[in-house]
Amino acid sequence: MKRRIGILTSGGDCPGLNATIRGVAKACYERFGTDDLEIVGVLNGYSGLINNECAEMKPSDFSGILTRGGTIFGTKRTPYKMMQVIGEDNIDKVKAMKETYKKQKLDCLLTLGGNGTHKTSNLLANEGLNVIGLPKTIDNDIYGTDVTFGFHTSVDIATEVIDRLHTTATSHGRCLVVEIMGNKAGWLTLYSGIAGGADIIVIPEIPYDINKLCEAVERRNREKKAFSIIAVAEGAYDTDEANMKKRERAKKRAEEGITTATSRIAKQIEANTGMEARVCVPGHMLRGGSPSAYDRVLATKFGVRAAQLIAKEKYGYTVAMVDTVVKENKLEDIAGKTKFVPADGQLVKTAKDIGIAFGD
């Protein structure tokens, strides 16, 4: 029985995408044989599926990519909320994706991506396509899986950033505020903050009181610790903003002339404590480079599980890690849900027990 499999990567890139692609391909070639397997690379995410931008792949195309960052297929952000909207181009995106699936004579489609990708995957599954998801995001916020590939590598990079800030913060007696990616969930900031020895951690799940952040900085000063490292998730907001809708928060920040929580926290700490504060934004460095050993193994395990699902013709699922076991969840059970950091969870309590402040 010949199988023809499509693979796409969608949303933000991250370390481990190529390792996962390789894991799927190698496991499928081993299981089905090179004569009975065809793999089609869908280029640039769902945009490529909409516009039928595809490439026939050979086994050799998957060699040497285990350690490579990014994605050999390219990626774009195609927001889920726009998938069922016909824009100025007059393209019915859902219809176009289904037509590409048929034109390419695919037996199934593998989608590597985060929350938005999984919502569109579920949409396509409901439209009758054979879809299998693979959980990718440095934010680690996909519901139903303990970990996503890309997360641990980004933790390592963010931790190194914080490590390096310690020497300059100590030398100058400064408060250094580092902005870590994570718009809705603070997993990356929490893990790297603890691993990097941050003094204060600010995450979206725990709205902060600026007065309490300033108190934490001043307490360190009284203890003769002339510097502070503050790890802030990009999506953090204060207790006043917690009662606002997203648009209201954006309007308030625009009126103040400070669009990010990180910049505002630095400015307020400097004004309220008299301590010099600087902002560091590693940004997309957290997404780049070679995946860690952990993520290479995880990506390979996830890829193998996807191959097993293909063999069983078990579609409409996404791969997951649950209690150290690789299994799968129904797409319909996880699509549209976000895994947030529990404000009273063990990791937050661990951080607080060693004196890390959260501003709550």
Residue 228 maps to a domain: yes
Does 281 map to a domain? yes
Number of Cβ atoms within 10 Å of the Cβ of 281: 17
For 172, the domain range is 154-287
226: in domain: yes
pLDDT band at 208 (very low <50, low <70, confident <90, very high): very high
Give the CATH number, domain containing residue 22.
3.40.50.450
Which residues are part of the catalytic machinery?
139
Residue 343 in any domain: the answer is no
Residues 327 and 281 in one domain: no
Give the pair of three-digit tokens for residue 202.
């600010």
pLDDT tens by residue, 220-266: 988 888 899 999 999 999 998 888 888 888 888 888 888 789 999 99
Lowest mean pLDDT among 76-90, 127-141, 146-160, 261-275: 76-90
Residues 194 and 208 in one domain: yes
Identify the pLDDT of residue 171. Answer: 84
| Cα–Cα nearest to 356, from 136, 135, 196 | 196
Q: What is the pLDDT of residue 18?
A: 97
Instruction: Examine the pLDDT at 85 and tell me if it is beyond 90.
Output: no
Residue 84: pLDDT band with limits 50, 70, 90: confident
Residue 207 belongs to a domain = yes
Tokens of residue 195, six digits: 């691993």
Is the pLDDT at 90 greater than 90? The verdict is no
Asked if pLDDT for residue 293 goes beyond 90, the answer is yes
For 296-312, what is the mean pLDDT? 97
pLDDT over 90 at 122, yes or no: yes
Task: Determine, yes or no, domain membership for 11.
Answer: yes
Same domain assignment for residues 242 and 261: yes
Q: What is the pLDDT of residue 243?
A: 87
Residue 243 carries which DSSP code?
G
The torsion defined by the Cα of 341, 342, 347 and 348, in degrees rounded to 10, comes to 100
- Residue 158 and residue 119 share a domain: no
Is residue 43 within 8 Å of 77, Cβ to Cβ?
A: no
In a domain, 344, yes or no: no
Query: What integer pLDDT is reported at residue 174 of this predicted model?
Result: 86
301 in the same domain as 279 = no
Distances (CA, A) of 292 to 21, 156, 175, 295, 352: 16, 8, 30, 5, 28
C-alpha 22/C-alpha 4 separation (Å) is 16
The stretch 115-144 carries a mean pLDDT of: 96
| Bridge partners (DSSP) listed for residue 132 | 110, 317
Do 208 and 159 belong together in one domain?
A: yes
Share of the chain above pLDDT 90, in %: 84
pLDDT digits (tens, 9 = 90+) for 58-75: 999 999 999 999 999 999
| Assigned domain for 330 exists | yes
**pLDDT tens-digit readout, 327-354:** 999 999 999 999 999 999 999 999 999 9
Number of compact structural domains in the chain: 2
pLDDT at 43 over 90: yes
224 and 315, same domain (yes or no): no
Give yes or no: residues 218 and 302 share one domain. Answer: no
Q: Which two tokens stand for residue 220?
A: 């360190």
Are residues 310 and 258 part of one domain?
no
pLDDT given for residue 46 in this prediction? 96
Same domain for 144 and 17:
yes
Reply yes or no on whether the pLDDT at 145 is more than 90.
yes
Q: Are residues 225 and 129 in the same domain?
A: no
Spatial CA neighbour of 41 closest among 104, 134, 126: 104
Angle, helices 151-172 vs 293-312, to 10°: value is 160
Query: Tokens 């699902």 map to which residue?
Result: 309
Using an 8 Å Cβ cutoff, are 345 and 193 in contact?
no
CATH number, position 248: 3.40.50.460
The label of the residue with tokens 């599926």 reads: 49
Q: How confident is the model at residue 172 (pLDDT cuts 50, 70, 90)?
A: confident
Distance CA 192, CA 286 (A): 11
| Weakest mean pLDDT among 49-58, 139-148, 200-209, 222-231 | 222-231
User: In this predicted structure, what is the pLDDT of residue 153?
Assistant: 97
- At residue 94, the pLDDT reads 94
Rg (CA), the chain: 22
pLDDT at 285: 92
- Segment 102-107 mean pLDDT: 97
- In this structure, are 28 and 141 located in the same domain? yes
Confidence of residue 89 (pLDDT cuts 50, 70, 90): confident
CA distance 133 to 206: 30
